[in-house]
Amino acid sequence: MTTDTNPPRTTLTDAEAAVEARRIIADFATSYRDHTPTPQYGTAPPVAQPGRPPMSQKAVDVSGVMLAGSVASVPFGGMTCLVLYTLDQVDPLSLTIGACAPIALVLAIGALLRRARGVMPDEHHHHYSGPVYQDQRNTHSRSVWNKTINK
């Protein structure tokens, strides 16, 4: 005795097939996509998007600096590991010098950047509403007697 797991197919009459076809077409026709653009503002509260959580501008700036600092610390940590690895027989003084060398390099670069900050001249913006004649002269002299002529 054989058992058939598939139920026998029922065939539709022409009228039933026409009704089923109309139903499928009606279901397809009722699905409509509205292509009008969504408004950029409204009364709905904002929804947090995936990624960084919403935060103030100051918090965004600080987190960006922290991320940059953490990425910048990787080469210095790698240098420290390399120096400590190459020093097989280390005494405490060699260990201290090897661990502090990258930090001293960062501090020296920071001091150099702070000192170089004053080198750039100040930027001046002038806004005038009429015709303006501007004469700007700089005179540098080391003598004791100077003659100034303003015309």
The model's pLDDT over 71-111, given as tens digits with 9 standing for 90+, comes to 877 787 777 777 777 777 666 777 777 777 878 888 888 88
Q: How much is the pTM?
A: 0.26
> Over the Cα atoms of the chain, what is R_g?
39
Confidence of residue 133 (pLDDT cuts 50, 70, 90): confident
**Residue 87 near residue 95 (C-beta atoms within 8 A):** yes
Helical axes 92-116 vs 57-86, angle rounded to 10°: 140
Tokens 């058939």 belong to 4
List the one residue out of 107, 106, 87, 112 whose CA is nearest residue 97: 87
> Could you give the CA distance from residue 136 to residue 151 in angstroms, rounded to a whole number?
13
Tokens 């397809």 belong to 28
Res 6: pLDDT: 59
Tokens 């540098």 belong to 140
Q: What is the mean pLDDT of residues 38-58?
A: 78
Alpha carbon of 115 to those of 65, 108, 109, 137: distances in Å?
21, 11, 10, 27
